Amino acid sequence: MNAEYKQKKNRVIQPNCFYRTALAVLFCSLLISSCASTKNVVYLKDAKDSEVSILDKLEPVIQRNDLLSITVTSPNATASQLFNTTASVSTQVVGYTSTQASGYLVDQDGYIDIPMLGRVKAAGFTKKELKEKITNVLIDNKLLMQPVVSVRYLNFKVTVLGEVARPMVINVPDEKINILEALGFAGDMTVYAKRDNVVLIREDGGKRITKRLDLNSNGVLQSPYYYLKTNDIIYVEPNKAKVNASGNAKTWLPAILSALSLTVVMVDHITRN
């Protein structure tokens, strides 16, 4: 009688021990996979209370395919109107509906066509320089008295890709945005992002510039790349944890858990018989 009782007791204890072991293994696996060092996901981790001189934002030069808004005013409103007739230009961003914008499109040769003034070189100039150039032409040719010229971008945009919540193209109407604001618009970087190695791609002066920025460091606030320029691309790379999760770990973990579940079912079936 005692021997039969001990045998039944062992059958009960063994599966219970197995269940506890299996749960412990599963818990440890999940704990290890979810662990991450917080120092790698904190922005500006070395920042202290301080005052940093804001760098003057370098004004970008106008490039081919830029879309410009140019308005001319003067005390003679009727005469000024002759210089403000622009054609509608179709603009389209991938994933967005095509829209019609009224402005001056810089052609492949770097020129724009302004009524009464003809072809005017725009590429290679800043907005301020183009404004002064048009103003001087109006005054020198006695076309307007006391003209006031305004030049703005109509297609100032930056693109954010990679390990962010919402990869997107950001239109910037006020022509001023920094890298942290751009990441904020994109829903911030995920926990799998390389915050110390964010890639900035910029086309400037006929050159394509690639710059890697460390957003864990306070030094980014003083970087000349802190403020973005039109057509900048920000690419956030995934860290090793994301790569592993998408590779071998992602392949083997479901198999291991399935095998563990099957073993539990088999042991339970054996002990019940």
What does the pLDDT look like over 89-127, one tens digit per residue?
544 444 444 445 578 999 999 999 998 899 999 999 999
Angle at 62 between CA 60 and CA 68, to 5 degrees: 115
Cβ atoms within 10 Å, residue 243: 14
Question: Which of 59, 70, 56, 63 lies closest to 104, judged by CA?
Answer: 70
* CATH no. for 39-57+156-238: 3.10.560.10
Tell me the average pLDDT across 144-150.
93
Report d(CA 79, CA 228) in Å as an integer: 38
Angle at 190 between CA 214 and CA 185, to 5 degrees: 80
Question: Which of 97, 98, 100, 69 lies closest to 84, judged by CA?
Answer: 69
Answer CATH for 67-153 from 3.40.1410.10, 3.40.50.1820, 3.40.50.300, 3.30.1950.10: 3.30.1950.10
Instruction: Give me 122's structure tokens.
Output: 């725009």
Angle at 246 between CA 249 and CA 196, to 5 degrees: 110
- The more confident residue out of 22 and 60 is 60
Sequence length of the chain is: 273
pLDDT for position 125? 93
Residue 58, CB-side half-sphere exposure with 13 Å CA sphere? 11
Q: Is the pLDDT of residue 234 over 50?
A: yes
8 Å CB contact between 81 and 149:
no
- Do 39-57+156-238 and 67-153 fold alike per CATH? no
| Domain regions of the chain by residue span | 2-35+243-272, 39-57+156-238, 67-153
Residue with tokens 């009688």: 1
Residue with tokens 């306070």: 218
Report d(CA 52, CA 69) in Å as an integer: 34
